[in-house]
Amino acid sequence: MQPVSTDTSPAATDAQTSIPLLLAALMLVMFLAALDQTIVSTALPTIVSDLGGLRWLSWVVTAYLLASTVVVPLYGKFGDQFGRKRVLQVAIVLFLLGSALCGAAQDMAQLIAFRTLQGLGGGGLMVVAMAAIGDVIPPAERGRYQGLFGGVFGLATVVGPLIGAFLVEQLSWHWIFYINLPLGLLALLVIGSVFRPHVALVRHTVDYIGAFFLTVALAALVLITSLGGSLLAWQSLDMLCLSLFALIGLVGFVLEQRRAVEPIMPLHLFRHRTFVLAGLIGFIVGVSLFGAVTFLPLYMQVVKNATPTSAGLQMLPLMGGLLVVSAITGRLISRWGRYRVFPILGTLLQVIALGLLSRLELDTPMALMNLYMGLLGAGLGMVMQVLILAVQNSVELRHMGVATSGATLFRSIGGAIGVSLFGALFSQSLLGGLDSDFAASAGGAASLSPAAVHALPTALQHSYLQAFSGAMHGVFLLAGVITSVAFALSWLLREVPLRKATQA
């Protein structure tokens, strides 16, 4: 049963007058969700020195990533069933509660548990905020707004490590989590006051069995990509069990969706050309985005001897390119009513930029690096939110939440797999490029900090930096090859005329 349009109601009229305020609150929600994926990374050494528990270090990141990924499709469905305003408010409250508890954590076990709670809310912030735009803005006008949302996502992803480094240096690591509280409360207040969706709710049933199988499958997949090759050997019994759980969860989910009265993710969406193509392209974009954001600051700290804060500042060309081009792309889509050309141009720019980044040397000028990063940011800005717009415009209104969450889920999984894949490739290439006696002379080569690298004797330091640069070449070259597949897929997208109203 479809939601009923009520666009002529007084509530809808009030919502129209409050749209700028509502969109600002939704962008703030998006910023917080994306920020917490990366803000912790630069604070991890400080957190470990304060709380201990070095062997559980990676779980501070993995716990949030795991929790936020597995709930994405559930939030999409719950938003369709119970109303996006109510579901978004629940997600914000969970996120803020988790943030407050993380800031007050007394040991590593508490921090990991509270990061999981924070992730359960954070996973809903991004997907419900994007779907909420579809409740108040018709697709023909949505391009310029989603361009801004894409810029906000990219901004948060890139400046996260920079903000984290600043807060740790000026205050303490606790403020990485406390900073969410005033911003989140402001967004919660505005959304509660002005968000009035243009739909009336109807009774629904919840597919709890499908939710269970999907959670098992996604949890196992995220753990495989996060822990494989680092904490767990690929051939280990633990990895075999995780793979088995992922397969059981996936098969159980598909079988349940075929018989459920109201499936969490209707299988007919996977026969929908735009949905499938947007998911695949988004998956690849997630791989290249998170891969670049992970390794470019590392290159600047190790090769250019930058501090964590200055390395974050040197990512500004990527952030600026993404933010500016995303906003311009959105406005052009709203003016022209066409979007297909932008994923084609965007993925092409990404391939070119990643190819140029694969040629970085020890003496590459920063001006040239800035050009490459700006080009990569421009390519990302043409793709990320355009894919969400294409999906929302081509599906029925009653499936907009699950379609949006599905497209977001593919990008999140792509990011998790990209970081894991590139991390394993980089470590193997680095060790393979070093002299056989290097480890005996310098200790654990793969785990040297930037400061330790620059404290090495001149000969050893030069040897390490040459191997490091060679390993970076392989990472960006592989990212470029993978992104070329997205470029080929983008040609298969169809141009669907943008709808003029929020009703499907």
229, part of any domain? yes
Specify whether 243 is located in the same domain as 291. Answer: no
Identify the residue with better confidence: 375 or 6: 375
Q: Which residues contact 496 (CB under 8 A, 6 or more apart)?
A: 274, 390, 393, 394
What's the domain count of the chain? Answer: 3
User: Phi, psi at residue 356, to the nearest 5°?
Assistant: -70, -40
Position 352 scores a pLDDT of 92
Complete DSSP assignment for 387-449: HHHHHHHHS-GGGHHHHHHHHHHHHHHHHHHHHHHHHHHHHHHHHHHS-TTHHHHHS-GGG--
Identify whether 146 is part of a domain: no
420 is written with which tokens?
């894991």
241 against 293, higher pLDDT: 241
Last residue of a domain, one of 261, 277, 302: 261
pLDDT band at 54; cut points 50, 70, 90 = low
Considering only CA atoms, which of 95, 115, 130, 6 is closest in space to residue 392? 130
- Select from 477, 480, 481, 453 the least CA-distant residue to 467: 453
Q: How far apart are CA 278 and CA 289, in angstroms?
A: 16
Best-predicted range by mean pLDDT (108-122, 156-170, 198-212, 228-242): 108-122
Tokens of 215: 């959670």
- What CATH number corresponds to the domain at position 65? 1.20.1250.20
For residue 217, the enclosing domain spans 207-261
Q: Are residues 253 and 396 in the same domain?
A: no
Q: Which of 225, 211, 195, 223 is nearest to 135 (CA)?
A: 195
144: in domain: no
Please say whether the beta carbons of 30 and 126 come within 8 A.
Answer: yes
pLDDT at 418: 75
Q: What percent of the chain has pLDDT over 90?
A: 2
- State the Cα–Cα distance between residues 382 and 396, nearest whole angstrom: 24
Closest CA to 393 of 163, 179, 140, 193: 140
Confidence of residue 436 (pLDDT cuts 50, 70, 90): low
Q: Is the same domain home to 193 and 310?
A: no
Q: What pLDDT is recorded for position 231? A: 67
**pLDDT at residue 206, as a whole number:** 66
pLDDT beyond 80 at 112? yes
Say what the pTM is: 0.69
Question: From residue 6, how far is each of 9, 142, 358 by CA, in Å?
Answer: 6, 19, 53
Kindly state whether residues 302 and 161 are assigned to the same domain.
no
Domain endpoint, select from 222, 245, 261: 261
Q: Are 75 and 214 spatial neighbours (Cβ–Cβ below 8 Å)? A: no
Identity (one letter) of the amino acid at 267?
Answer: L
Q: How confident is the model at residue 449 (pLDDT cuts 50, 70, 90)?
A: low
Whether the pLDDT of residue 278 is over 80: the answer is yes
Residue 328 lies in a domain: yes
Domain final position from 197, 230, 261: 261
Q: Are residues 335 and 282 in the same domain?
A: yes
The per-residue pLDDT for 11 is 43
Tell me what pLDDT residue 308 has: 64
- 340-370: pLDDT as tens digits: 888 899 899 999 998 898 887 877 788 888 8
Position 503 in a domain: no
Residue 486 counted as domain residue: yes
Q: Is residue 76 part of a domain?
A: yes
Indicate if the pLDDT at residue 264 is higher than 80.
Answer: no
323 shares a domain with 311: yes
Question: Are residues 250 and 310 located together in one domain of the fold?
Answer: no
Q: What pLDDT does 146 receive? A: 61
Distances (CA, A) of 57 to 53, 112, 349: 7, 9, 36
In a domain, 458, yes or no: yes
Please say whether the dihedral angle defined by the alpha carbons of residues 301, 303, 306 and 307, taken in this order, is positive or negative.
positive
Q: Please tell me the predicted confidence (pLDDT) of residue 2.
A: 41
3-state secondary structure 165-217: HHHHHHCCCCHHHHCHHHHHHHHHHHHHHHCCCCEECCCCCCCHHHHHHHHHH
Q: Which residue has the higher pLDDT, 146 or 317?
A: 317
Alpha carbon distance 187, 168 (integer Å): 25
Is the pLDDT reported for residue 53 higher than 70? no
Based on the domain organization, do 243 and 314 belong to the same domain?
A: no
Question: Is residue 103 over pLDDT 80?
Answer: yes
pLDDT of residue 502: 46
Residues 149, 96: Cα–Cα separation, whole Å: 21
- As a whole number of angstroms, the distance between CA 288 and CA 351 comes to 10
Pull the structure tokens for residue 168: 């740790």
Q: What is the mean pLDDT of the chain?
A: 75
Same domain, 170 and 251: no
> Does one domain contain both 230 and 315?
no
The reply to whether 179 and 211 lie within a common domain is no
Return the minimum-mean-pLDDT range out of 198-202, 259-263, 463-467. 198-202
Same-domain status, 45 and 55: yes
SS3 assignment for 263-295? CCCCHHHHHCHHHHHHHHHHHHHHHHHHHHHHH
Write the DSSP symbol of residue 260: -
Q: What percent of the chain has pLDDT over 70?
A: 74
